[in-house]
Amino acid sequence: MLSMMARSRWLSKAGRTGSDGVAATGDVGPDSPNGPGSPNGDGAATSAQWKADSRRLRNSLISLAVFCGLIVALLFAVPGLRSAGRRIAHANLAWVTVGVVLEVLSCVGYVVLFQLVFARLRRGIAARLSLAELATNSVVSAGGIGGFALGAWVLRSGGAPLRRIAERSVVLYLLTSSANVAAVLVLGVLMGLGVLPGSTAALLTFLPAGAALAAIAAVLVLGRAVHGAPSDSERKKSWWAVAGWTLGEAVEDALAMLRAGNWRLLGSVAYWLLDNLVLLACLHAYGQSPEVTVVLMAYLVGMLANSLPIPGGFGSVEVAVFFMLRAYGEGPSSVVLAAVLTYRAISLWVPSIIGTGAFLALRSDLGKPLVRTPEPSVAEG
């Protein structure tokens, strides 16, 4: 919820500076008032922004590498962590490879969903942009705002109205989050009732499920309450009006997509589930055979730490997932720590490497028409 509000606020500020409307069609392209031929599409400014984003991504990758180096050094320097370091050195490489493959497929799931939400984009551009966003989100945490900002800039360079970019980006966020939140709700209730294996402690089951239900209800109620475009006077007075409009439109569009049942919605499930299974594969790499439901719940609750503004969430996520797995009874500690660190190495570096290549390939797309010809129907998004 917090990261979603931050996204809406960021774009609402931009929306006050010259949004040209939110028409359902013709919202991306070189003929837009804000396209490459306008002042906003100035080549020098675009080149400067590209260099700044390239420098930011490079520096973030360096920071991530430094973090990884420090963790490795600690594993072999601190007596209490050496057992985990020794286990990592003897990991089952077959299971680690399975984890890498699952992470690649998780990235594919995100691309599929991205292409559904931004259906008017040419497929190649949508694929490259989505992978570049994943790379940015891997090295710049804070709930995915880094990747969102990158996507907004690329789309804006192609002439997309800022408020339209905001609305579609929040739709993407809602759809990717829906699988996570729904899973916490269902798994928490079923585990708490003893239907699924795992802990029956209310603190580890019903509490997360209740929080997930509250989040779903809050988004639906808030989205309905603020639905409707703000007037010009409201837009000038407060960014809340524009942020509210963005959320309301996004909730309506996300619900419409769910009702339509497009097969590409499975990308949201694949993106979430396959990343979960990477953690399961890493536990198997160290001889553990945990219940799938336990891994899913530990992952879902522990990954809340990913919203903290730390490069890749590194450190906070590992601690959160580690303690959640231990709370659910997984052990010994050295095995769980080794598995979590291996999982995080895969989940950070695979998207970073693939996405960095996609980011570099995006440069050739800047200033070119972004939409497909002919454009897909409005029903496609």
How many residues belong to the chain?
381
- DSSP H helical ranges for 193-238: 206-225, 232-237
Q: Read off the pLDDT of residues 118-128 as tens digits, 9 standing for 90 and up.
A: 988 888 888 88
Q: Read off the pLDDT of residues 38-76 as tens digits, 9 standing for 90 and up.
A: 334 455 555 665 566 566 656 556 666 665 666 666 555
Lowest mean pLDDT among 23-32, 157-166, 258-267: 23-32
Calpha distance 145→119 (Å, rounded): 21
Averaged pLDDT for residues 6-22: 37
Whether the predicted pLDDT of 21 surpasses 50: no
Answer whether 226's CB lies under 8 Å from 170's CB: no
Whether the predicted pLDDT of 181 surpasses 90: no
| pLDDT for res 8 | 43
Domains in the chain: boundaries: 2-15+46-370
| pLDDT for res 11 | 41
Q: Read off the pLDDT of residues 228-281 as tens digits, 9 standing for 90 and up.
A: 555 555 555 556 666 667 778 888 888 889 999 899 999 999 999 999 999 999
% the chain with pLDDT above 90: 18
Whether the predicted pLDDT of 137 surpasses 90: no
Higher-scoring residue by pLDDT: 261, 85: 261
Confidence label for 109 from pLDDT (cuts 50, 70 and 90): very high
Whether the predicted pLDDT of 318 surpasses 90: no
Confidence label for 307 from pLDDT (cuts 50, 70 and 90): low
Mean pLDDT of the chain, nearest integer: 74
Confidence label for 170 from pLDDT (cuts 50, 70 and 90): confident
Calpha distance 288→330 (Å, rounded): 8
| pLDDT for res 331 | 79
